[in-house]
Structure formats: C-alpha cells, structure tokens
C-alpha cells in the first residue's frame, strides 16, 4: 500500500496510533481543505514510545517486539491505511529476520530500524545521554538480512539514521545513508532533536543530489514550528507526527481527572468529552 501511495502522491502525512480506538479515529477523519477538497491522513505510525507508555513501561525496548506486532494486527481491523512500524534497533539479526516475516504476513507496509546499539535511550534525549551508534557494516548486514528474509518483497525496510542525535557530523549521517541504500534500504529516515529543522533540511538537500528517488522521512517533534512545505520542498516524502495522540490523550485524561477530583461534578467536564452515544456507536 505504501509503495502505491508513494508512486501516486508526492507528500504524505503519517500520524501515530497506539490502539484500535486511535486507529479508528484516524481512519474516520476526513475534512475539507481551504479549497473544499477532502483532507485526511495518509497512514499510521506504530510508535515504540507510545506502545511503551500505553503499557506503563519505559521506552527502552523492554516491550517485546512480537507483542507489539500483534497489537498492530488488532489496530488493522479498524483502518485501511498503510502502517509504518517503529522497530527500534530491530534486535539481533536472527530475531529481526523472523519478526520481518511476521510483519509481512499481517500486512505492515514498512518497518523503520535505527542504527543504534546497546541499552536504548530515547532519541529525544539527544547527546545529553550516551547514544551508541551501531557499526555501519553490522547495520548494513541487518538490512540485507531483512531484505533476504522477505517472501513477497512487499514490506519496505527503512533505515533510521541517528548520527545527528548522537552529535556526529553531517558527513557521518550522509555516509551511513549511502551505505544503507546500497545495502538495500528502501528509504531513509533522518532524525534530529534540534529545535529547528536546519540540519535535517541540509541533510535532505545533500542526500537528494545522490538519491533523487529514495523515500525520505522526517519526524518534526522538536522542530514542530517548521511549515510542512519547507520539509517537502527540501526533498522529504513522508512527515510523521510520531507521538502526538498519546501525548494529547494523556493530557486530556489528566485534566479531566483533576477537574472531577476538584469539583466532584461530572457536568464540569462534559464539554471536554465526546457524547456517550458516539463512543457506543464507534465500533458497531
């Protein structure tokens, strides 16, 4: 599905879902743009951060990857949109090969693996914590092993480059991108925790000179005030809003609970809630 979408549409918006309910909400949203044309999200991002938070666990690859894949299968009953799966490092190669086949069987469109190793530290910490990059050759081998394990070659494998997160120079990121593409990566995600998009835009311009047609992904969590048009003009194909539904739902539940505790009046929070009938009819 993602391959077809990329061939027909230049600019794609993906958003995180962490449950069948959130997948249903994303699938059902269809609003008119300024010209009256229908506007909806193009696909879903299955985030390891969101899945960990939902299960009350730290985002350290503690949550079993296969249980997360099965969780995606539950969400797929409520959406027809392509799903990109966040597999963290992908684990060791033998496990990655088996998990890749499971992802392919259930119909995941793409998986993104990041080129770090050791105890996972969330990338948004940047280099305030030790971010250990994987050896280029080892990570390239993982990409090649994943590609070889596919039965139908429908599932795409994207490489997520963590050089900028780890405080490495731009050249390191570009060298890694080139090696991963040559190893068979179907797309590249460049990650940054800077407050502006300068370095990811710089990466995109340089990457596009060598690879004009390889899908390029960005995640504007920290550089959130960057207009999407700037990112697309720089050469990105996919923008992922990676954790906003889980974060907004956390805040909404917290605010509602505090208000109910403060006043004891359910009427005080009704304006923040959808009607009971909408909840009851959502999955009929």
Catalytic positions, written as ranges: 59
> Under a CB-based contact definition with an 8 Å cutoff, are residues 117 and 143 in contact?
no
| DSSP SS3 for 41 | coil
> Under a CB-based contact definition with an 8 Å cutoff, are residues 277 and 50 in contact?
no
- CA gap 223, 62 in Å, rounded: 28
Cα angle for residues 136, 140, 144 (degrees, 5° grid): 175
- CA gap 160, 177 in Å, rounded: 9
Q: Phi, psi at residue 244, to the nearest 5°?
A: -75, -30
> Under a CB-based contact definition with an 8 Å cutoff, are residues 176 and 163 in contact?
yes
């Amino acid at each position: 599905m993602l391959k077809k979408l990329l061939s027909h549409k230049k600019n794609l918006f993906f958003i995180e879902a962490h449950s069948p309910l959130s997948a249903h909400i994303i699938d059902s949203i269809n609003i008119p743009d300024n010209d009256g044309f229908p506007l909806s999200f193009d696909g879903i991002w299955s985030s390891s951060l969101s899945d960990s938070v939902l299960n009350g666990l730290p985002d350290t690859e503690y949550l079993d990857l296969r249980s997360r894949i099965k969780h995606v299968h539950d969400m797929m009953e409520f959406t027809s949109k392509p799903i990109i799966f966040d597999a963290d490092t992908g684990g060791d190669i033998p496990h990655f090969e088996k998990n890749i086949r499971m992802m392919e069987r259930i119909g995941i469109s793409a998986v993104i693996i990041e080129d770090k190793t050791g105890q996972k530290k969330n990338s948004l910490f940047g280099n305030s914590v030790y971010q250990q990059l994987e050896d280029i050759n080892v990570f390239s081998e993982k990409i090649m092993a994943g590609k070889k394990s596919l039965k139908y070659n429908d599932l795409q494998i994207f490489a997520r480059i963590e050089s900028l997160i780890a405080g490495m120079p731009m050249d390191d990121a570009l060298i890694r991108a080139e090696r991963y593409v040559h190893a068979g990566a179907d797309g590249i995600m460049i990650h940054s925790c800077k407050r502006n998009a300068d370095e990811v835009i710089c990466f995109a311009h340089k990457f596009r000179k060598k690879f004009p047609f390889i899908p390029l992904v960005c995640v504007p969590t920290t550089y959130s005030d960057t207009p999407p048009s700037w990112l697309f003009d720089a050469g990105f194909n996919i923008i992922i809003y990676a954790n906003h539904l889980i974060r907004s739902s956390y805040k909404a539940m917290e605010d509602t609970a505090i208000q109910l505790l403060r006043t004891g009046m359910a009427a005080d929070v009704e304006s923040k809630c959808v009607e009971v009938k909408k909840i009851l009819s959502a999955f009929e």
